[in-house]
Amino acid sequence: MNASRENQLKIFEIFHSLQGESNFVGLPTVFVRLTGCPLRCRWCDTEYAFHGGSWLTFDEIIEQIKSHNTPYVCVTGGEPLAQKRVFKLLDQLAEAGFIVSLETAGSISVADVNPKVHKVVDMKAPGSAECEKNDYQNLTLLNDKDQVKFVIADEVDYQWAKNLINEHDLSQKCQLLMSPVAGELSPTDLADWILKDQLPIRFQIQLHKLLWGDTPGT
């Protein structure tokens, strides 16, 4: 490891907005978006963060976060866990008293995530074209403050998610979120399926896209 990078992360952007997803939806939040992701999901809406960004120290990151005067911080990507030093940042944010959520795909272990952090694990359904990358061991590492998110492109994805919820008894372990792939699946259809099957999950539409469209950094 380059010693000069030991206390730095490559950050694509830090911005203040309303949380558009998760159980913190609607709350003013500072987003720390890390550069890079090992996955290439077919419907990815943050491809712009695969490359670029700037190296920032933990102190510089936290200074920017504090300037926005909100306790809510979301560490996201890309895939934030692809940069292993992010665990140190999560520790520092939790110790500083922030309410921290981590948005991660299901492919990298969350075992070393600070227990104070709210993990939002986006398990990849078949329609993502990255389903085989899921690390199902992560499902054993969640608790009642954590969340598993399913982004659904079609009925095949929906049935896959239902089966996973049942096989791992997820409704008894953590909170469950489900949303449609924008432009591919009717939100009404997904809502109807959920109601018909009486799934114990929270249906979501991306609030930030309703407010600001696909503009990065909002």
The candidate with the shortest Cα–Cα distance to 174, out of 127, 128, 112, 106, is 106
Q: Which residues contact 174 (CB under 8 A, 6 or more apart)?
A: 142, 143, 144, 145, 146, 147, 148
Q: Which residue is listed with tokens 């608790």? A: 143
pLDDT tens digits for range 94-150: 999 999 999 999 899 999 999 999 999 999 999 999 999 999 999 999 999 999 999
- What's the CA dihedral at 96, 97, 103, 108 to 10 degrees? 60
Mean pLDDT of 66-89: 97
C-alpha–C-alpha distance, residues 120 and 21, integer Å: 10
Q: Is the pLDDT of residue 215 over 90?
A: no
Contact 58, 96 (CB under 8 A): no
The candidate with the shortest Cα–Cα distance to 122, out of 149, 82, 157, is 149
Spelled out in words, what is the top-level CATH class assigned to the domain 3-212?
alpha beta
| pLDDT value, residue 112 | 97
Strand partners, 107: none
The candidate with the shortest Cα–Cα distance to 184, out of 105, 125, 127, 129, is 127
Radius of gyration of the chain (CA): 17
Encoded tokens for 141: 């590492």
pLDDT tens digits for range 3-58: 467 899 999 999 999 998 899 999 999 999 999 999 999 989 889 999 999 999 99
For 105, how many CA atoms within 13 A lie in the half-sphere containing its CB? 23
C-alpha–C-alpha distance, residues 190 and 154, integer Å: 9
C-alpha–C-alpha distance, residues 199 and 175, integer Å: 12
What's the whole-model pTM score?
0.93
Sequence ranges of the domains in the chain = 3-212
**Higher pLDDT residue, 57 or 211?**
57
pLDDT band at 2 (very low <50, low <70, confident <90, very high): low
pLDDT band at 1 (very low <50, low <70, confident <90, very high): very low
Mean pLDDT of 159-179: 97
C-alpha–C-alpha distance, residues 131 and 50, integer Å: 19
